[in-house]
Amino acid sequence: MILLFAIAGFVFVADQLTKLWALRGLAAGPIVVVPGFVDLMLVLNPGVAFGIFAWLPPQWRWLVTVFSLAALVLLCSVALRIVPGGGWLGRIALGLVFGGAAGNLLDRWRLGSVVDFVDVHWRQYHWPAFNVADSAITVGVVLLAAEIAFASPRRQDGG
């Protein structure tokens, strides 16, 4: 569990520090990182992943926070089942997901929206803006899926 909490803590702190920088450093306008492909620009996302439910009126946005908190509680219950018998990959994956989820949840609670700032695009096509927490959650989910998919099956006969 120490590895899980260490990774979650690291992701949470890195996420919050980069978002603080984005709020201060990108308020004046975007920064081009790779011309025509990657920009850093401040986006306040009131929705969930990839802007889903961003259309909700402000008086209903508290539901997004409730759903996010419920997902975190569900993930905790899954983690309590997976971590004791799982390997290091599962612990890393859950640490990434927990840290990212906590970072985005804090934004929702504090600001009413999530601070996103990485804009990947090509010509007129844009991937939804994202942040460190979103990246950690995505990598964590992929690692967790790999852990589940490639784990050797446990024998049910006790042997």
Q: Which residues are catalytic?
A: 116, 134
Can you tell me whether residue 26 is helix, strand or coil? coil
CA-CA distance, 147 to 134, in Å (whole number)? 20
Can you tell me whether residue 130 is helix, strand or coil? strand
Q: In degrees rounded to 5, what are phi and psi of residue 149? A: -70, -35
CA-CA distance, 55 to 34, in Å (whole number)? 30
Tokens of 150: 């490639």
DSSP string, 102-129: HHHHHHHHHHSSEEEEEEEEETTEEPPP
Task: Name beta bridge partners: 106.
Answer: none
Can you tell me whether residue 5 is helix, strand or coil? helix
